Structure 1
Amino acid sequence: MAALSATPALALSCMRFDPVDAFTFANEATESYVVIRGALAYDASEVPEGYSEDNVPVSIPGKVAGKLLGENGFQEEVGVEVMLDIGCTGGWCGGVPAGEDVLMFLRYEDESYHIALDPCQPMAFSEPQAEVIADIEACMDGNCPK
């Protein structure tokens, strides 16, 4: 007679969360958000490598330089300090490479900016295509494609 046992699945299973979803989330949140297209600078050695027993999100300091989303699209040059709040699920941690073109949704909290980098609900998207930028600018005008 064979014995069967259930073991937990180790695969990451998340619902799709895209930049328009992030805009909608930020727009409906009680917290204040700004949207910036630019580059992140931070110490990559501080980023967690994967899940740990305590699974506590890690916050590391960084800087953002780019263009702020306003009524006329991404126009105003900005540079701000930010806390990267990195979460892990299973063996996966959120993140974006430093120095790349990134579309970011920064939450303003406790007199500082924070960016949530989570593998299932990221608030940053690397190398956004022109269509994605157009969608986000349409959202700013009240015409989100979803």
Structure 2
Amino acid sequence: MDLRACFRPARTGAALTACILAVAAGPAAALSCLPWGPADAYLHAANSDRVYNVIAGELKFDESLLPQSHSDNPNDTPPLTRIPAQLSGKLLEGKYFSRRVSVSAVIEVECLGPWCGGMKSGADYVVFAEQRGQELVVRANACGGFAFDDTSTVRRQVLDCHRGKACEPAQPR
């Protein structure tokens, strides 16, 4: 069984369940991911000294720029790929996703050897975009990231955290 399939949910921005991958080529290599969900991202952003914008909306970018693992050397994947994107949706302000925005963003796709984060262009996400100067950065890594499928459950988790209600991380603290 090809255990790399455990990481396919990262391509949609969904939280990953705990997963261990082992590769038989050369010395054994493994990648373990802890559960990560919208509440984890919210708590990370809230406890960070960096500024995050939480936006629910559509993310568009050129999918051909996503890093791909090479079959002849799967570990020859760049560790970080920056992809220009456009994010259109509603910004979390006060108690709701209320202010319409259409902004440029950068998706930072991180790879750990052959395992990379990813997203789908044109899909709706709830993103935690880090403000770096004039740039908004959405991180996607092999074990999840800061973009989640825009569902009523995801929005409810984010809004509950934001309003001071139950904010239960998937990852034990």
TM over 0.5: yes
Identity rate of aligned residues, in percent?
Answer: 29
Tell me which of 126, 142, 145 is aligned to 2:164. 142
Q: Is the 8 A contact 2:148 2:154 kept in 1?
A: no
Question: Is 74-83 or 44-53 further displaced after alignment?
Answer: 44-53
- In the aligned structure 2, how far is the partner of 1:92 from the partner of 1:121? 11
Partner of 2:112: 89
TM-score scaled by length of structure 1: 0.86
Which structure would you say has the larger Rg? Answer: 1
Structure 1 runs (4+) greater than 4 angstroms displaced = none
Cα offset, 1:95, TM superposition: 1.5
Tell me which of 73, 82, 85 is aligned to 1:62. 85
Aligned length: 139
Tell me which of 111, 130, 135 is aligned to 1:107. 130
Cα offset, 1:92, TM superposition: 2.1
Partner of 1:74: 97
- In the aligned structure 2, how far is the partner of 1:102 from the partner of 1:137? 14
TM-score scaled by length of structure 2: 0.74
- In the aligned structure 1, how far is the partner of 2:29 from the partner of 2:79? 21
1:131 matches 2:165: no
Q: Is the 8 A contact 2:109 2:116 kept in 1?
A: yes
The one-character-per-residue Cα deviations of 1:39-84 (angstroms, maximum 9, x if unpaired) are: 1111111110135436420111111001111113111110110111
